[in-house]
Chains A and B, each alone.
Chain A
Amino acid sequence: KQEVTQIPAALSVPEGENLVLNCSFTDSAIYNLQWFRQDPGKGLTSLLLIQSSQREQTSGRLNASLDKSSGRSTLYIAASQPGDSATYLCAVSLGAAGNKLTFGGGTRVLVKP
């Protein structure tokens, strides 16, 4: 059974610092890995999707890496802003788009102005 773990569970940084969020998964036979952002009481916003054949994806200040063999992904957020405060979730899929996602517990981020 696939298990996804996110460390740390919570993170507080001053504005301007870089954020590093970690995600690990037990079954390396993933199809893809997706990072999401969730604001309190809201749904999920997709940030980045990395296919199993890819090593990283970038979008603006966000960069996500994937090391499938070691079962790890890292989300980097450069030059953090108070608006980056949210919960960040990683999720893996063992199959194509029609397959379900297994989520990590999330990392709650607070960026202090």
Chain B
Amino acid sequence: GAVVSQHPSRVICKSGTSVKIECRSLDFQATTMFWYRQFPKQSLMLMATSNEGSKATYEQGVEKDKFLINHASLTLSTLTVTSAHPEDSSFYICSAPGGGIDEQYFGPGTRLTVT
């Protein structure tokens, strides 16, 4: 099946710094990728849709200037959390529709802790 990877798996950063998270489709191309956020004991909430070659589409309430998304190629999308604050600490997961079928394939997630 299709494989999606994320890097890093865990990151700890200081308040005010920026953190970049990568999402890669390893064996298929993805013109669209999705970024979700999951707080402890809660479900996944969509943050934004990453579109290759064009601007990302953000969900209501998500600050586009704080969560920068770049879909530089058909296999890579990046999420940069700028000027991170402790309330940004969360589990960030990306997904991509896999290879012509309707399933969504998810990355293993990135645990961000802002101190």
Residues of A within 8 A of B (CB): 31-32, 34, 36, 41-46, 49, 51, 89, 91, 93, 96-98, 100-106
Contacts and interface: CB of A to CB of B under 8 A. Distances in A.
Nearest to B59: A100
Contacts of B46: 100-102
Contact of A44 (B1, B31, B93, B111): B93
B40 to A, nearest CB: 10
Contacts of B45: 103
Interface residues of B, number: 27
Contacts of B70: none
Contact of B103 (A42, A43, A46, A98): A46
Contact of A97 (B43, B97, B109): B97
Interface of B: 1, 6, 31-32, 34, 42-46, 49, 91, 93, 95, 97-98, 100-109, 111
Do most interface residues of chain A lie in helix, strand or loop, or is the interface mixed?
Answer: strand
Contacts of A98: 31-32, 97
B102 A97 contact: yes
Contacts of B43: 89, 103-106
